[in-house]
A and B are shown apart, each in its own frame.
Chain A
Amino acid sequence: MIGVIVRKELRELSRDGRLRLLGAIVVILAIAAFAFGAHQTRRAQEAREHARERATAQWEGQGAKNPHVAAHYGTYAFAPTSLTTALDPGVSAFLGRSVKLEAHRRNLATHSAAQDAGGVQRLGDFSVAMVLLMLVPLLVIALGYGGWSQERERGTLRQLLSTGVRREALLTGKALALGIALAALLVPAGALIVTGLWILGGGGADTLGRVGLLALGYGAYFAIFAGLTLYASAVARSARGALVAMIAAWALFCLLIPRVGGEVAATLEPLPSAAELSRAITHSLAQGIDGTTPREVAIEAMITDAMAEAGIDNAGFLVDQGAITAIELRAEARWEDAAYDHHVERLEAQIAAQERWTARIGALSPFVAMRSLSAGLCGTDYAHHRHFTAYTEAWRKRLVAQLNTAFGENAGAEGWAWQADPTLWKAAPPFDYAAPGLGFVWQHHAFDVFVLVGWLALALALARRSARRVRVV
């Protein structure tokens, strides 16, 4: 029975020239967006590789130098671009891509793609994710708004029900037909895109797992819109009413709630301005995090402790000048790191809290939850960025510590005049950052998954309920 209904629905949908055109446009846009995304991702990866090589060459080629002078010179770390950025750039365009690593300060990641792009980035969004998040739901609405309402307007619903067909069967048939029509459009496009990713070099199990989950997530997302559309189609007085109501719902979900949510989140969890942050850090550097410990006193105490520990204070005139300088430098670094870590980590926690608020408000809109989950699965969300910057900072501390130790162990009486051999630069700790796995995504996006499942349950329940009570005339 259901097979008959599905066949009839599919025939009707496929005969509608407007729907064929609309479907073709969406698929073409998705593929074009992927081509552009793949191109951009490749370019970003190449740019990163290039920049990294240059930074390494600069670091290793700095010649004989005092290690602490080298620490001042510093180097750069560059955020990786995951392959799945080609699908969903997420928020990555607005996150800094390079971090300057140097002695005495913890720098924030800067030079986001959006800053480089000047006024262009905000002109419009164009990615596979944007097509899937915004345009495909409209396609679902266009395919489904007539499901009940047009049958009713044409009077065929009464005939149909007089044959004794159950309403649930009708609903299942209509929903299945909607799903099949959509799958017929999106599965080939998806296959093409996955092939493209594979050619780009993403055959890894991790990437495949991410893409698989992404497909599952988007499937649920489209099903939410399908359920809501069939519901609207059943309860609206006319086909026109169903269409207008669903377009309004779409605008609410995809345009209004995300933006209003952003403002609300910014009000609930305001971030400091860059100037405020730098003033706070400057203050803590001079007066301590508690605001009452002068820098000189604290550092002096640390130096005294460290000298006592190393047994240097008893050595009298046999003091190794290099060792003392290294102790001083270590004490300074500890003091400065404490101040920077305090403020930067607080800022990062604030940003994460703002992101969480955005997600919570997003419970009102499946779009927000899916967008966040999609960026998480593609490794282009804030959590991934924070994971990277945490690694970078830990590496910076190791590098500075290593250079200070080299100073202490080798400078001897030469002290500041001592210059390390350039091989020391090559012996820097290896920078081998690895992006986190899927468990990390679950940790940060479980809420989004719950929201989507909740919406799915709601949409399906509404579609079922309204099918049972659909007005016939």
Chain B
Amino acid sequence: MSAWRTIARLEWRLLRRDRAAIAVIGLFAGLLVLAAFIGGQRTEQVSAGVQRALDAEAAAHAALMQTLAKLTAEQAPLTGADPRDPGWMGREGAARLATLPPTPLAALAVGQRDLQPQALRVTTDGFLSGERETETPMSGPTRLTTGPFDPAFLFVVLFPLVIIALSYELLSGERERGTLAMLLSQPISQRALVFGKAGARLLLLGGITVLLAIGGLVLAGADLAAGGLAIGLYLAVLGAWALFWFSAAVAVNALGRSAANNALLLFGLWLLIVVVVPGLVRVGIDALHPPPSRVEVLHDAREAAQALERELAGLEGRHDRKTDSREHALALVKVQRALAERAAPALAGLRARQAERQQLIDRLRFASPALVVQLALEDLAGSGARRHERFEAQVDAFHDRFRAHLFAQVDAGRRLDATRIAAIPTWRFEEEPFGALASRVLIGVFGLLLGAALLLGLAVRGLRRIGRLAG
């Protein structure tokens, strides 16, 4: 035991004087500061935007209630935009903004946030206009294609290179300098030497990982108290990811080749895991389950409803028609209801195919540990594909409920008052139960640890060949 400690102390001293190692860690930390800072700012922008939209909605509601009180007091006849008219309320007055709020760890990963809508306007109209309500700033196409500079990018793509840089010459360096033979001439076992050295580096790496991970969160202004268990999972993911690469480095060192060879081999592994395999996985998913085309779904609905569209368009395009008559309201509801019914199968088909693809991703992510980590970080940041799809599905359901409620009022020929307006459904996003998210992330962590264990097994086998080590 004391031999291990001596070795670890020696290693620690060596590392402390290794300028290259310090430079690499410093560079990474600097980049992380930048990414966390940017991530925090962008998250704040989104939160502020969502709040602004909700405030605007509340203000509009308050104005509406005032108008209602006035009109009710005056017992005025119905006008074009009248809060007492359930038809107009459904189309415009009571429009709801369904938003997907950012989570406490949102700054970690942009994920799908710059691609998918996080706010949808819900009215009694057939289609949700997803493009016009999102408060996340748009991105130029090159930036979208390149991907964001967020902490997830740094941890998934660059962090392994840092670990490789710190550990590729764990043993080969000693051998090449000729110090390995000298060390082994001391009364310590080969194993003590290797594990002492590796242990010291692992401790150091672990410390750095935790420090960087937490530091990144703090800099990004994440809500640490609200993050709670998610932060634990985040540390587990990064810890397992670091362990995976460290094990790979030890395994490669155990082959007993030169330091340059180790570097090349580890870099090749990085290229495979981080760049090549994820690309191939994407190809595989797109080939096996081509993405459903929303344009086609749109046309399905448009065609299925062409006759109805004609009726609807006849109602909507004519600037001379009075839109406040009861017949008009009933006709509109009839057409819209039928439109929704006919569009439903196409929409359900789209959702089913999205779900199939998502399941495939869940399975194929294990082809590359980098995918496991990327998807886990997005999940924890609340910007993963799953949460966005969940959001859209919930909005669909809410849309149906909202429509049914207001259509029923129109059918019954009711006028709305304050109580009835208060009874109009309001939006609330139901988060995925934490257990489901945690189990998905933990399965990923388990996969990473399994990979690390396999690599360590290889390393132990390699290390048994003591003679070659000192050679």
Contacts and interface: CB of A to CB of B under 8 A. Distances in A.
Interface of A: 18, 29, 32, 36, 39-40, 43, 47, 50-51, 54-55, 58, 61-63, 65-66, 68-73, 76, 78, 90-91, 93-95, 97-98, 103, 108, 110-126, 130, 134-135, 138, 142, 238-240, 243-244, 247, 251, 255-256, 258-260, 262-263, 265-266, 270-278, 325, 328-329, 347, 351, 354-355, 358, 372, 382, 385, 415-416
A36 B136 contact: no
A436 B277 CA distance: 36
Given A58-B302, A58-B306, A263 B317 contact: no
A120 B286 contact: yes
Chain B's interface size range is 35 or more
A113 B291 CA distance: 8
A108 B129 CA distance: 12
A135 B276 CA distance: 9
Nearest to A124: B278
Contacts, number: 250
B282 A65 contact: no
Contact of B263 (A54, A244, A274, A351): A244
Contact of A271 (B140, B303, B318, B384): B140
Given A117-B291, A272-B138, A124 B275 contact: yes
B320 interface: yes
Contacts of A54: 299, 303
B297 to A, nearest CB: 10
By DSSP majority rule, is chain B's interface helix, strand, loop, or mixed?
Answer: helix
B419 interface: no
Interface in B136-186: 136-149, 153, 157-158, 161, 165
B131 A262 contact: no
Interface of B: 31, 34, 38, 49, 53, 111-112, 115-117, 119, 131-149, 153, 157-158, 161, 165, 258-260, 263-264, 267, 271, 275-283, 285-287, 290-296, 298-299, 302-303, 306, 309-310, 313-314, 316-321, 354, 357-358, 361, 371, 374-375, 378, 384-386, 388-389
Given A122-B147, A124-B278, A255-B158, A416 B290 contact: no
Contacts of A240: 258-260, 263
A121 B285 CA distance: 10
Contact of B146 (A39, A118, A259): A259
Contacts of A47: 293, 295-296
B132 A43 contact: no
A273 B138 contact: yes
Contacts of A98: 295
Given A51-B296, A124-B281, A94 B286 contact: no
Which 6 interchain pairs have the tightest Cβ spacing? A119-B385, A124-B278, A126-B279, A69-B317, A72-B317, A91-B141
5 contacts: A91-B141, A116-B291, A119-B378, A351-B138, A382-B142
A40 B133 CA distance: 31
B292 A116 contact: yes
A259 B147 CA distance: 7
Nearest to A39: B287
B317 A354 contact: no
Given A118-B358, A125-B279, A263-B148, A72 B316 contact: yes
A262 B142 CA distance: 8
A69 B138 contact: no
Contacts of A113: 291
Q: A90, A111, A113: which has the most chain B beta carbons within 10 Å?
A: A111
B149 A260 contact: yes
Given A115-B115, A123-B361, A255-B158, A275 B133 contact: yes
A61 to B, nearest CB: 7
Contact of A259 (B137, B153, B357): B153
Contact of A262 (B143, B260, B310): B143
A263 B134 contact: no
B140 A66 contact: no
Q: Is the interface of A mostly helix, strand, loop or mixed?
A: helix
A126 B116 contact: no
Contacts of A68: 317-319
B140 A355 contact: yes
Given A72-B317, A134-B275, A274-B134, A43 B385 contact: no
A116 B142 contact: no
A91 B271 contact: no
A412 to B, nearest CB: 15
Contacts of A325: 319
A72 B314 CA distance: 9
B141 to A, nearest CB: 4
A354 B389 CA distance: 29
Nearest to A125: B279
A124 B140 contact: no
Contact of B283 (A63, A110, A126, A354): A126
Contacts of B135: 273-276
B294 A111 contact: yes
B145 A115 contact: no
A248 to B, nearest CB: 9
Given A94-B145, A115-B294, A69 B361 contact: no
A114 B282 contact: no
Nearest to A150: B260
Residue from A91, A116, A258 having most chain B Cβ neighbours under 10 A: A116
Nearest to A74: B313
B282 A262 contact: no
A51 B303 CA distance: 12
Contacts of B275: 124, 134-135
Nearest to A351: B140
B276 A29 contact: yes
B267 to A, nearest CB: 6
Nearest to B306: A58
Nearest to B315: A69
Nearest to B361: A119
B260 A51 contact: no
A28 to B, nearest CB: 11
B141 A69 contact: no
Contact of B282 (A94, A123, A276): A123
B291 A354 contact: no
Contacts of B132: 274-275, 277-278
Contact of B358 (A40, A119, A266, A329): A119
Contacts of A385: 141
B312 to A, nearest CB: 9
A127 B31 CA distance: 28
Given A124-B275, A354-B142, 5 more contacts: A50-B296, A94-B144, A135-B276, A262-B143, A266-B137
Contacts of A94: 115, 141, 144-145
Given A130-B279, A259-B148, A275-B53, A138 B271 contact: yes
A69 B318 contact: yes
Contacts of A29: 276
A51 B361 contact: no
Contacts of A69: 313-314, 316-318
Contacts of A258: 146
Contacts of B291: 113, 116-118, 120
Contacts of A124: 275-282, 371
Contacts of A123: 278-279, 281-282, 285, 361, 371, 374
A191 B131 CA distance: 43
Nearest to A98: B295
A244 B141 CA distance: 32
Given A68-B317, A120-B282, A123-B282, A114 B299 contact: no
A66 B317 contact: yes
A458 to B, nearest CB: 23
Most chain A C-beta atoms within 10 Å of own C-beta, residue among B144, B278, B384: B144
A271 B153 CA distance: 22
B138 A120 contact: no
A36 B283 contact: yes
A358 B143 contact: yes
A112 B138 CA distance: 14
Contact of A119 (B112, B161, B259, B276): B112
